[in-house]
């Protein structure tokens, strides 16, 4: 088993943090995404979406998509439970993780992808959309600050995959000048707590 990784990209970091929380060690193979090795025909045989992370199992099965990879490890090693503990909790964690993907991670990623040279020739870019998504991300952070006024973590009183998605997204915001504002005290309190967990360094 191994994971095709990029040590600088946000989605592989979600998986690394998830595994660190569970204390699972998997060998990583660095993929040179700057030189578009992930876009080669060889890599596309592992993931036709040409993206990292990809988990390759010993039988050759390739599992892409960060959340799918995390779910695989949650199944084979349930503790600590990062996708919720019972039916209601699992639904709430799913809801919050999807909200963190749609309202935070995607706008923050687009603020970079839609304007940066890294993606020139890789995707169709609309720089005006980059700015629109930067503003959408800022609005989402303001909303998240108000949500975190009444609970410790994104999905409730326990650390879950939703916290991982939100923290990784917000940290990636720095490349697009998206950051927690000084007056967003609840968001800053939450970020301080999740960023100080040893897994955040993974």
181 touches ligand GSH by CB under 6 A: no
Measured from the CB atom, the residue of 65 and 147 that comes closer to ligand GSH is 65
Interface map 91-120 toward ligand GSH (x if CB under 6 A): ------------------------------
Q: How far is CA 180 from CA 138, 169, 189, in A?
A: 8, 12, 10
Q: Is the bond preceding 105 in cis, omega lying within 30 degrees of 0?
A: no
Q: Among 4-12, 18-26, 73-81, 160-168, which window interacts with ligand GSH (CB under 6 A)?
A: 4-12
10 touches ligand GSH by CB under 6 A: yes
> Shortest Cβ distance from residue 174 to ligand GSH (Å)?
14
DSSP, residue by residue, 86-149: SHHHHHHHHHHHHHIIIIIIHHHHHHHHTT-GGGBTTB---HHHHHHHHHHHHHHHHHHHHHTT
User: Which residues pair with residue 5 across a beta bridge?
Assistant: 30
> In this structure, are residues 140 and 41 in contact, taking their beta carbons and an 8 Å threshold?
no
By C-alpha distance, which of 147, 20, 134, 172 is closest to 95? 147
Task: Write phi, then psi, for 135 (nearest 5 degrees).
Answer: -70, -40
> Shortest Cβ distance from residue 186 to ligand GSH (Å)?
27
Pick from 38, 136, 160, 184: which binds ligand GSH (CB under 6 A)? 38
Q: Among 5-13, 80-88, 130-138, 180-188, which window interacts with ligand GSH (CB under 6 A)?
A: 5-13
65 touches ligand GSH by CB under 6 A: yes
Measured from the CB atom, the residue of 71 and 186 that comes closer to ligand GSH is 71
Q: Quickly count: other Cβ atoms within 10 Å of residue 157's Cβ.
A: 7
Pick from 3, 17, 52, 169: which binds ligand GSH (CB under 6 A)? 52
Measured from the CB atom, the residue of 10 and 173 that comes closer to ligand GSH is 10
Q: Among 16-24, 50-58, 155-163, 191-199, which window interacts with ligand GSH (CB under 6 A)?
A: 50-58
Which residues contact ligand GSH (rule: CB under 6 A)?
Answer: 6, 9-11, 33, 38-39, 50-53, 65-66, 122
């Amino acid at each position: 088993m191994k994971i095709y990784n990029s040590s600088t990209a946000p989605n592989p970091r979600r998986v690394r943090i998830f595994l660190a929380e569970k204390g699972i060690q998997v060998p990583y193979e660095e993929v040179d995404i700057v030189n578009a090795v992930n876009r080669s025909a060889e890599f596309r045989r592992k993931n036709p979406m040409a993206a990292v992370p990809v988990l390759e199992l010993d039988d050759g099965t390739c599992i892409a998509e960060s959340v799918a990879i995390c779910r695989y490890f949650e199944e084979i090693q349930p503790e600590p439970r990062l996708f919720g503990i019972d039916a209601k909790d699992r639904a709430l964690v799913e809801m919050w993780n999807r909200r963190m993907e749609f309202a935070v991670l995607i706008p923050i990623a687009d603020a970079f992808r839609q304007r940066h040279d890294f993606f020139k020739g890789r995707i169709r870019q609309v720089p005006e959309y980059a700015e629109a998504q930067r503003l959408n991300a800022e609005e989402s952070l303001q909303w998240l600050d108000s949500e975190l006024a009444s609970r410790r973590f994104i999905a409730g009183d326990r650390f879950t995959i939703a916290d991982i998605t939100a923290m990784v997204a917000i940290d990636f915001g720095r490349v697009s000048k998206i950051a927690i504002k000084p007056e967003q005290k609840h968001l800053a309190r939450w970020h301080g707590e999740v960023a100080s967990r040893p897994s955040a360094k993974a």
